[in-house]
Amino acid sequence: MIKKALYVVSTMLLAVLLVQGNGARAGLAIMELEWSDLIPQGYNPDELVEQYRKKYNIDELPEDDPHVIELLQKLDELEKAAPLNTSLDDKIVKLPGFVVPLETNGENATEFLLVPYFGACIHVPPPPVNQIVYVTTQDKKGASIRGMFDTVWVTGTMKAVKLSTDVAEAGYTILASRVEPYNPE
Amino acid sequence: MEMYIFVLAVKSILNRKFTIILTIFSIALSVMLLLGVERLRNDARESFANTISGTDLIVGARSGQVQLLLYSVFRIGNPTNNVSWKSYQNISEQRQVAWTVPLSLGDSHRGFRVLGTNQDYFRHYRYAVDRQLEFASGNVFEGIFDAVIGADVARELGYRPGQEIILAHGTGEVSFVKHTGNPFHVVGILRKTGTPVDRTVHVSLQGIEAIHVGWENGSPTPGRQYDPNNPQLYDLQPRAITAALVGLKSRIATFRVQRYINDYPEEPLLAVLPGVALQELWDTMAIAQQALLAISVLVVLVGITGMTTAILTSLNERRREMAVLRSVGARPWHIFVLFVGEAGVVMGIAALAGIVSLYALQLVARPLIQSRLGLYLPVHPPSLHELILLLAAMAAGMLVGLVPAYLAYRYSLADGMTIRI
């Protein structure tokens, strides 16, 4: 009798613990991101063009028309602003990308930039701010890098700083708890 | 009984000491080569990586990113062109730029390179993951003819603060054109860093300008040199520098500033990320390094094969010895163990001798490598990686040693105590 009661109680306890454990894990679930997730949903230059098209019929206007210039300026601003997806702030995320080493000790990098494409340099302007992630490793030893433009998975806490200030520039930062080689399936 | 066998085994080795010493010598050399190559590979990488830290971009005339890194930071090779002072000013005024340090190269003092810069260099230059330059004695230069020297310059030339030095035009070990008219005074000596800074004489940009007064046509014009008593006669504002170190407010802006500099319309400039340039350097050198490592592994194998050959050749001569061993009570497996043990002892002594000679070589070669290549190779205890390599070599030796051991075992089974050769 006592044995049975004990059994029931311990099973219940175990169940509660399991549920709680799951709950806790769900709260800190690792969000696996793609690079498009870093661009906020509202960000849509095409929409702006469409608005102008409807309003002023810009396709018909000459290139030096004030409305066209205004549109180009606004597009430019939108491009430069490269807004961040602030819902990612403080989330634990996992993101794949190319490593651009900043601080290395020869084998390992303690600080690097993560970018979505290889050789982000010559032909086109560099990726906008919302397509660059600055990664620092929690481990002082840094993460092992296999070569130039290595591909890795970075897991860690994401910070999305929205406005540039004197101390910090707008952009994404990940404090990485794990950096592992990326192997395409 | 085992005691007898052991004593006999030692006597047997002593009897063949000449062959064994030669074997040990060849394996020790091969082990030294293997460890040396491995050590050079790792330490060179670390030494390079430790030379620059905290700098976001290096800016220079357009060339290659590795070349720019090598001449500006490691003082290896020569600059391709200058950066105009105007462009440098413009870059420092960019909103994203937190600090810049100008670098001006091209002169030397008794084989040590002279670097023209300003006080910001001592504030912003970092090495070995965020370590700042420190003064062993004296202080930062203030006047036009003040110089701050690196630790090795001070040690090798025996300089102290107050020492008068004369800079030479060009970067060779010797120069036939010296800036004799305008001597500099050592005002500070830096602490050892293990980087090319140790081998550099630092002076102000104005100092570099002053010693080149009258050099407009490429050689000194007689009677026209900087006169310290009439400083108002001269405009010491530099017109060009060799390269600049740039620190940014935010590392996220790195690409944007890099793009800005690479697209600079006034003159062809190049901005490189030190980490990326270093990585490119490794990737270029990786093939050569792997080839070297492969060769040194092969040399170790040759050494081990030599040892096996020596043991195998002695096998026939030693059949009598084995019979004697059997007669004092050794079993065939004792013989087997003796042969493997001999290979093990030879490998062990050779490995030890290899390590010792590696350290000896390192001590001798270190100053040379440092002065020729600017590479600082620290003397440190064997790393885990090196120990694993060493154990692998020893295991390979023992493994190959199994062959003669097995043959000896077979012989001693067949021959027993009687022997017919």
Chain A contact for B94 (CB, 8 A cutoff): no
Nearest CA-CA distance, residue B353 and chain A, Å: 29
The CA–CA distances, whole Å, from A10 to A14, A22, A131, B160 equal 6, 18, 50, 78
Q: With 50 as the cut, is the pLDDT of residue A26 above it?
A: no
**pLDDT of amino acid A3:** 60
Contacts of B255 in chain A (CB under 8 A): 113, 120-121, 126-127, 132
Residue A106 belongs to some domain of the structure: yes
Q: Which amino acid is at B355?
A: I
In this structure, how many other beta carbons lie within 10 angstroms of the beta carbon of residue A122?
A: 8
- Region A70-79: mean pLDDT is 74
Residue A19 belongs to some domain of the structure: no
Nearest residue of chain A to residue B280 (CA atoms):
A148
B286, A146 contact by CB (below 8 A)? no
- Sequential DSSP letters for B15-81: HTHHHHHHHHHHHHHHHHHHHHHHHHHHHHHHHHHHH-BS--EEEEESS-HHHHHIIIII--S--S-
Chain A contact for B278 (CB, 8 A cutoff): yes
B191, B135 contact by CB (below 8 A)? yes
Nearest CA-CA distance, residue B255 and chain A, Å: 6
Nearest residue of chain A to residue B52 (CA atoms):
A103
A97: which strand partners? Answer: A152
**pLDDT of amino acid A19:** 46
**pLDDT of amino acid A21:** 43
Provide the residue-wise pLDDT of chain B in tens; the chain has 421 residues.
567 777 777 788 888 888 889 999 999 999 999 999 888 888 888 888 888 888 999 999 998 889 999 999 888 888 888 999 999 999 999 888 999 999 999 888 888 889 999 999 999 998 887 788 999 999 899 888 999 999 989 998 999 898 988 888 876 666 777 777 788 999 999 998 888 898 899 999 998 888 887 776 667 776 667 777 777 777 788 888 999 999 998 888 888 889 889 888 889 999 999 988 988 888 888 888 889 889 999 999 998 998 888 888 888 778 888 888 888 777 888 888 888 888 888 899 999 999 999 999 989 988 788 777 767 777 888 888 889 989 998 899 888 889 888 888 888 877 766 655 5
Residue B182 dihedral angles phi and psi, to the nearest 5°: -125, 85
**pLDDT of amino acid B352:** 93
The answer to whether A104 contacts B278, with C-beta atoms less than 8 Å apart, is: yes
Nearest residue of chain B to residue A164 (CA atoms):
B250
CB-facing half-sphere around the CA of B406: CA atoms within 13 A: 6
What tokens were used for A175?
Answer: 């404090």
Structural domains counted in chain A = 1
Nearest residue of chain B to residue A123 (CA atoms):
B259
Contacts of B40 in chain A (CB under 8 A): none
pTM for this predicted structure: 0.76
Nearest CA-CA distance, residue A66 and chain B, Å: 28
The answer to whether B278 contacts A101, with C-beta atoms less than 8 Å apart, is: yes
The answer to whether B54 contacts A103, with C-beta atoms less than 8 Å apart, is: yes
**pLDDT of amino acid B92:** 92
In this structure, how many other beta carbons lie within 10 angstroms of the beta carbon of residue B33?
A: 19
Give the CA dihedral B166, B171, B176, B182, nearest 10 degrees. Answer: -20
Burial class (CB in 10 A: 0-12, 13-18, 19+), B189: buried
Nearest CA-CA distance, residue B78 and chain A, Å: 24
Nearest residue of chain B to residue A127 (CA atoms):
B255
Q: Which positions in chain A have a beta carbon within 8 angstroms of at least one beta carbon in chain B?
A: 100-107, 109-113, 120-121, 125-127, 129, 132, 134, 145, 147-148, 164, 166, 168-173
**pLDDT of amino acid A185:** 63
Non-local CB neighbours of A65 within 8 Å, separated by 6+ positions: A58
**pLDDT of amino acid A22:** 43
Non-local CB neighbours of B197 within 8 Å, separated by 6+ positions: B125, B127, B133, B150, B190
Nearest CA-CA distance, residue B387 and chain A, Å: 19
**pLDDT of amino acid B90:** 93
The answer to whether B252 contacts A101, with C-beta atoms less than 8 Å apart, is: no
Contacts of B286 in chain A (CB under 8 A): 147
Residue A145 belongs to some domain of the structure: yes
Containing structural domain, residue A96: 31-181
Chain A contacts in chain B segment 13-42 (CB below 8 A): 42
The 3-state DSSP class for residue B330 equals coil
Chain A contact for B258 (CB, 8 A cutoff): yes
Nearest CA-CA distance, residue B367 and chain A, Å: 22
The 3-state DSSP class for residue B93 equals coil
The answer to whether A104 contacts B275, with C-beta atoms less than 8 Å apart, is: yes
ipTM metric? 0.71
The answer to whether B275 contacts A147, with C-beta atoms less than 8 Å apart, is: no
Q: Which CB contacts under 8 angstroms, 24+ apart, belong to A69-75?
A: A74/A48, A75/A45, A75/A48, A75/A49
For residues B236 and B226, what is the distance between their CA atoms, to the nearest angstrom? 10
Nearest CA-CA distance, residue B295 and chain A, Å: 23
Residue A155 belongs to some domain of the structure: yes
Length, in residues, of chain A: 185
Tens of pLDDT, residues A38-62:
887 766 667 777 777 777 777 777 7
For residues B248 and B242, what is the distance between their CA atoms, to the nearest angstrom? 20
Nearest residue of chain A to residue B271 (CA atoms):
A121
B214, B224 contact by CB (below 8 A)? yes
Residue A122 belongs to some domain of the structure: yes
Nearest CA-CA distance, residue B248 and chain A, Å: 10
Return the closest-CA partner of residue B272 out of B127, B97, B64, B79.
Answer: B64
**What is the count of residue pairs from A and B with beta carbons less than 8 Å apart?**
82
For residues B111 and B128, what is the distance between their CA atoms, to the nearest angstrom? 25
Contacts of A169 in chain B (CB under 8 A): 96, 249-250, 252-253
For residues A7 and A14, what is the distance between their CA atoms, to the nearest angstrom? 10
Contacts of A109 in chain B (CB under 8 A): 275
Residue A8 belongs to some domain of the structure: no
State which of A146-160, A163-177, B87-101 shows the largest mean pLDDT: B87-101
The answer to whether A168 contacts B250, with C-beta atoms less than 8 Å apart, is: yes
Q: Which CATH number covers residue A68?
A: 2.40.50.870
Chain A contacts in chain B segment 361-390 (CB below 8 A): none
